[in-house]
Structure 1
Amino acid sequence: MCVNTPGSFMCICHTGYIRIDDYSCTERDECTTGLHSCDENAICFNTVGGHSCSCKPGYVGNGTVCRALCDGLCQNGGSCVNPDTCICQQGFTGKRCETDIDECTDGFVECDSRAICVNLPGWYHCECRDGYHDNGMFSANGESCEDIDECATERHSCANDTVCFNVDGGYDCRCPHGKNCTGDCNHDNKHKHNGQIWVLDNDRCSVCSCQSGLVMCRGWCVT
């Protein structure tokens, strides 16, 4: 393009062209020089006076911006990073992030001896075992679990003629020295004789028995 100047003129290249000399311009190949606006996952096509961009197979977009295409295959919050390739969030695995990682069985977690590992979707937690409760500190590995004093809280089944002794994770019913105890039990405010067996009213799949002052229950239904 000719531009008049005082006492002379000058030639200015149109957009998309570069100067050869004072009077000539040639087409600029933006694709080979890297002076283009195409996404890294797009193909650059040089055109007269400019260029065009087209997303590579497996990607969608306008060429300037291209994103991987997974057809909604990534599950559980996974991100599509390459065609048919998902990056999974913590706690999931698989090509489509469809599989929950069981941290409890895979050996990733070591809970305190007073707690048991419970798997959750995408995560886990250490839950206090029977006979223990959390002290309010909520430690991730269960170190905050402490013994429940069943004797002090009256959460025991010792009969009136036996004495409750708290032990770690439970309790024991003992007969006071010099006394002949029956070994009977108290359960749900009902007196049970030593050796007596009964079925729970609210759970027909659980059978309980009174054994020397202690109530023992177990499930017997087959599913």
Structure 2
Amino acid sequence: MAVRIGIGGPVGCGKTRLVERLLPIFQGEGVSVAVITNDLVTLEDSERVRRSGLIDPERVLGVESGACPHTAIREDPSVNIEAVEYLEARFAPDLIMIESGGDNLAATFSSELVDWWAFVIDVAAGDDIPRKRGLGVLRADLLIVNKIDLACHVDADLDRIRADVARARPDRPSLFTNLRDNDGVRGVFDEIARGTLFGRAA
């Protein structure tokens, strides 16, 4: 059975970019991967990953949730579970990344669906997000604060964000990334390796 990794966060925070940045690292470590993306009524994200050249397109499935994005990852994850079972039966991957459709700060993943999950926010959306303390910020196994390169362009106080994140998650890991330039992605992999007990040193 594959390890199931959830990646959630609001629209535009960098979830799909994170999937694309992680794929070469997993493959370099000998980890066989498949991907499931969730969107409301489109397959846009899955088509983007298929076109990336980073993974066999057959290993990427798109799910159209048809409702609030968190529904298919929390309230009724059956459509995602079916997609997981299909990929496991066909490819027997070591790991499946499940990207949520863009959602608000209350999004969480069902433990039925994933073994471990990360929540992505971005600096450009406002430096007050960690103070709002949504469930994603508080409960995710890893919080990723992305687009730190944009802080100076949107008048975001990065030091304050770091302090607010530390207060919101005193006992849970958080990472600050610039996924456009691949900055911090290796640290995300290391946290996944630790959190899902791959049996290799992170």
**TM-score category of the 2 structures, normalised to the smaller one:** under 0.3
Q: Which has the higher helix share?
A: 2
Choose between structure 1 and 2: higher strand proportion: 1
Return the TM-score normalized by structure 2: 0.23
Q: TM-score, normalised by structure 1?
A: 0.21
